[in-house]
């Protein structure tokens, strides 16, 4: 779970993760701190995802670039599906075979873009 439980997720920093993926209860606790994200439990270990609707192509690409900067800065990289005015982000942690705290930290940082 969080290295600094007193800090909001968007203020925490990703770190190397190993061991088992977060349990469904841990996932739900962290999910409650995010806006509009979903856990796909049909994927072993879970995948955290959200689709963002944007005004136009230029705003979509600016958003994608901001997400790329977060991913680079956190050294944790999502799968992205991008179209004219939407971007779907899917976070998971390969080293744990599912969801880790890193996925929720990065999702919270993406949410902070529009806060």
Distance in angstroms (rounded) separating the CA atoms of residues 43 and 41: 5
Q: Which residue has the tokens 């179209």?
A: 83
The size of the chain, in residues, is: 115
pLDDT of 9: 82
Q: Residue-wise pLDDT tens for the chain (115 aa)?
A: 444 566 778 878 787 888 899 999 999 999 999 999 999 988 888 999 999 999 999 999 999 999 999 999 999 999 999 999 999 999 999 999 999 999 999 999 999 997 6
According to CATH, what is the number of the domain 22-113? 3.30.1360.20
Please list, in sequence order, all residues whose beta carbon lies within 8 angstroms of the beta carbon of residue 68, skipping any fewer than 6 positions away: none
């Amino acid at each position: 779970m969080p290295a600094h439980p007193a800090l909001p997720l968007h203020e925490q920093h990703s770190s190397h993760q190993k061991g088992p993926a977060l349990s469904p209860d841990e996932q739900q606790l962290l999910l409650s701190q995010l806006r509009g994200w979903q856990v796909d439990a049909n994927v072993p270990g879970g995948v955290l995802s959200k689709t963002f609707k944007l005004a136009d192509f230029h705003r979509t690409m600016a958003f994608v670039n901001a997400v790329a900067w977060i991913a680079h800065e956190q050294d944790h990289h999502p799968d992205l599906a991008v179209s004219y005015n939407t971007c779907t982000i899917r976070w998971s942690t390969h080293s744990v075979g599912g969801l880790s705290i890193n996925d929720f930290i990065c999702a919270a940082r993406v949410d902070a873009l529009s806060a």
